[in-house]
Chain A
């Protein structure tokens, strides 16, 4: 008798609990950091996500979306890891490039292939390949791209005009680049020291990428630093360095308008181009951006960095989480918002080449603006994605220090690249 009562009361409690659970509004959480992924100042850090949440909640009644605000980008990685250890990770979260492989390998990110295959309203074709593929690991999608940025060449138009040099076209090459640098590098005030330079901050990395060098095998276990394209790039950098005659160019030189070229991300371009930043940062010269110069064996290629959004593999609301991911990464309205309100580039091709983009990109009334949405779209199509395997940063840091020795002539070039490749391969093994 008492047993029956016990069972009955357990059942009743279970039913009450379940109905209470069911009647509760579903709450989704988003993991997001303040500001942006591109290290440029941003006014309203949560403007876009607030808008996205408002739209999403309107489309899905009974669903609440929340996020924790105030987490800085540099703290985000640790914060997310702590949430995972506590088992309270957000359902949907932004994934930093350096965290992506870790979270895939520990099984924290949901495999999205089934969602992509089952969702008739979703097509990966709308994305730029470099953006969409960035969310893949061993050819399986674990994250969707939300926004991208890529590197362009800043051009000091005032300086070029002063030197009577035409603005280079978007299909310019190393040779054009080198020629212009040679022309502009000189001593303008006659103190015997050159005070006007061709370029600042153009590194072997930019050169190698635009010369079609692939640094590593996809699994990150082997490097290709001894490639002949790499050698060409190094030689080009050494030549470019030779133009300056041993003088080191400082960022201040660029800021005051005494340098013709400097690679910048598009986010920086978006940040500093419009009012008021334009006034604050670069007042003394007019500037614009064009694609990176093409190497002998490459093209006008640069690296496109993409911010990814992933889903926790432990989420209890997979379908809603997928819908939310799509709202952030796939929805045209959201992508338009990114175009309007952030410094980054949307990842949808149709948004980039839309009329709105045309409007937004032409800040200057003059016809001198060289970059058009079509150019940006081309650059994004051609762009390559950065590597993101575990030892990537360490390997590149080592390569940078070794290559700088070569470039500065401390180490002779002859066999140095082979040696470097072996060194790095050995480091990649563990």
Chain B
């Protein structure tokens, strides 16, 4: 499993991660991000894309 961290002090709700993997990242009606904190290894490519695309460099993955 891969651990996903988002720094909420950095996140500005741009939604790039949501566009890449809507099943792993969501923005609620108040624009707050929520996300799946443990993700199967098969989704590594999507997670790496989210990490690289995030305009605020707020996403970090581990494992």
Do A and B share a complex? no
